[in-house]
Structures are given as structure tokens and as C-alpha cells.
Amino acid sequence: MSLKNRLVRSATYEAKADPDGKPTQLYFDFYKRLANGGVGLIITGLTYPEEDGKLPRTIAVDRADCLETIKQIPETIHGVGNDCKVALQIGHTGRQLPATVDRQPVAPSPILEPFTERMPREMKSHEIEAFIEKSAAAIGYAKRAGFDAVQVHAAHGWLLSSFLSPHTNHRKDQFGGKTENRARIMTEIIRQAKDLIGMDFPVLVKMNACDFLESGIELAEALELGEIFEESGYAALEISSGMWETITRDPEDIGWRAERIPEARKRIGTVADEAYHRRFARAFRQKMQRAKIILVGGMKTPSLMDEIVCCGDADLVALSRPLIREPDLPNRWLNGGSERASCISCNQCLETLREEEGLRCYLL
């Protein structure tokens, strides 16, 4: 896949699908604006290959007959006509199923999720196998539907992230224990997908460089995981951090200055607060041979992003919140504007996900 620029729209849950998991007019309008705004690659918000792992009002990719509806997504984005590419993000909520959803969450192991205070049920191995198969099938649907790529969401404590992390995966079978076993669910997804659709379709992964939990993933192990992913055929690694559980810890304990949600940190007041995963991305860039490295987290200043890419700390930079507020931000910068993004990282956009229209900038 070749992109017209190195600016990526990081996956952002938009809550604009209908109850059957089909995109609505609101969904298409939202993505048309983004595609018009100049970003090189849009990664959609999380979609679900399995009903059990869905977030409310997200897109279904859990059966072949969703093809007819999901193909309208790349049609809409490509139809804008300015060479914007689109990747479908797939994943599963796992133990972080929102407290408002009335079903028991599933996870690799039954470990209490302290943010929602819910106890997940341990997945049986046949359920894991079924999820792998459904994920591979969803990657196949995405290719047939005309998406340019897929991203597998294995960050932020959702199901796949909780398989990777020794904090949440205490299994004794082939999906638990040593690093390679905890990574098995990811390597199987891509192996089965490539068997189905061939090797010429880019599959990306979003992963944690650090869980910020005592018994979680640290950078050294994340780099090992990165090598396993690269070896198994993932084309790019988007580097993030944290789980919901991290939020329940004292920020001082885990060594980050700004408070709340590590992957979408608040209070990014100065340029020095931006690009808070940069040192992790740099470590990945130095270690990986082929996979492209995407840096996400807190970036707002174009000259900083330029410098990150030019000095080789990352191949691409990804933005989420700034593009909720200003979908045409890349065009502003491409047309010579050099001012920072006007998003103030207040995270109130997360609250709008419960509103009827779904995601929006709370302050506009």
C-alpha cells in the first residue's frame, strides 16, 4: 500500500452504526469529511468479527452478508477522489466490555477488571479457535469489500491485548505462558487470513509498548512481540500503551505525569507533553527490520511530527482526537499553516459516544 502522506487517522470509536452493525448516513458523512481533510490513511473505529465482542453502535464484520454494507465504506472514502486510503480496524472488547452492556465479558483468564468491577469468564479453547477463524474471515471480507488494509487492535487491554499481557493471561494451554504462546492468537489470525486471501494485503497491528502495570508488558517484551508479529507477516505496528486498569492506578505509581487514560492522555499543554510514546516508537524502529512503525499519542504540532519522521523515530504519525475537532487539519498544514491542532485533549469526546449522534468534539 502506498500513501500520499505519512499522516494517519488513528482508529477512533465513532458510535455511528445502527443496532444491526450497519453504517448510517451519519457514519458516511463523518468519514467523507475526514477523507476530504487530507489525511493519507484512515483507520476506522473498532469493528467486530464476533457479536460477543462488540461495542455499542459499531460496524459488524461477523458474517459474509455484511459485505454488501461494509463495501460502501471504502466506496465512500475512495469516492472523495483525493487518494485517501482506508483500513478497517477489527477487535473484541474482552474483559473491558462497558458496564452498560448486560452480558458477562470473556477473557483469557478470569481476572477482575477493576475499572468496571466486573469478573470476566475464561474463554474455552474452542471459543478462542472460533474467534481466530472469525477474525481471519473478517480480514477476508475487508479485502473483498475494497478496504486497502486491516488493523488488528491488540492494544489498550481489549481481548487481544489481554491475551498478550501476562497480567491478564494466566492460561496454562497453548495460548498462555511464555511470550510466544501469549502471541499465538495473533499469529494464528494472520496465518489463517493469509491462507484465505493471500499475502498481498496489508494487515497492521496496534499494540502496547507498555501496559503500565506491575505484572504487565514492559518494553523489552513488547519488542519481542513486535518481532513475532513482523515475522508472522504484520506489515506495520502502531505503538501505544495502557489498559483501562491502568486508569485505576495512581499516576505517580506508574511514572506518568499527566493523569488518566495513558493511551489518550489529558493535559497536553506544551510541545514537550506531545508524542508521549515517542521513545517506545524509536525502540521499535531500531529493532524491527521490515514492519513500518506508526507513532500515536498526543501529537498536535506539525513541526514536531515532521522531525519525528525525518529523524527516523517512526515511519508514520497517527492522530485521533485532533481530527475529531478538525477533520481538515492535514489540509490546513499542507497548505502552509503551521499552527498547532486546536484540540485541548480534554477527553470530553469520550462522553459524546453515548449521545444519539455518536462521536463529536464536545467543545464545538
Ligand X SMILES: Cc1cc2nc3c(=O)[nH]c(=O)nc-3n(C[C@H](O)[C@H](O)[C@H](O)COP(=O)(O)O)c2cc1C
User: Which residues contact ligand X by CB under 6 A?
Assistant: 10-13, 45-46, 89, 153, 155, 206, 240, 263-264, 296-298, 319-322, 349-350, 359
DSSP 172-223: -STTSSSHHHHTHHHHHHHHHHHHHH-S-S-EEEEEEEE--STTS--HHHHH
Tell me whether residue 8 or residue 145 sits nearer to ligand X (CB atom): 8
Helical H runs in 202-348? 219-232, 244-247, 278-287, 302-310, 321-325, 329-334
Which of 70, 349 has the CB closer to ligand X? 349
Nearer to ligand X, 128 or 268 (CB): 268
Under 8 Å between Cβ of 16 and 357 = yes
Nearer to ligand X, 76 or 89 (CB): 89
Amino acid at 5: N
Half-sphere exposure of 101 (CA within 13 A, CB side): 19
Smallest distance from ligand X to CB 46, Å: 4
Min CB(185)–ligand X separation in Å: 17
Query: Measured from the CB of residue 125, what is the shortest distance to ligand X in angstroms?
Result: 26
Q: Which residue has the cell 486498569?
A: 245
Return left, alpha or beta for 117; rule: phi > 0 is left, psi -120 to 50 is alpha, else beta.
left
Q: How far is the CB of 245 from ligand X (least distance, A)?
A: 16
Judged by CB, which is closer to ligand X: 158, or 171? 158
Least distance from C-beta 307 to ligand X, angstroms? 17
Least distance in angstroms from the C-beta of 265 to ligand X: 7
Cα 306 to Cα 110, 147, 322, 334: the distances in Å are 44, 27, 16, 12
Residue 234 grid coordinates? 504484520
User: 46 vs 138, which CB is nearer to ligand X?
Assistant: 46
Spatial distance between the Cα atoms of 165 and 182, rounded to a whole number of angstroms: 7
Cα radius of gyration rounded to whole Å, the chain: 19
Return the axis-axis angle of helices 184-197 and 125-145, rounded to nearest 10°. 40
Which lies closer to ligand X via its Cβ, residue 89 or residue 246? 89
Give the residue with the Cβ less far from ligand X, 211 or 263. Answer: 263
Pairing status of strand 106-107 against strand 121-122: parallel
- Closest contact distance (angstroms) between CB of 124 and ligand X is 26
Taking the complex as a whole, the smallest distance from the CB of residue 338 to ligand X amounts, in Å, to: 18
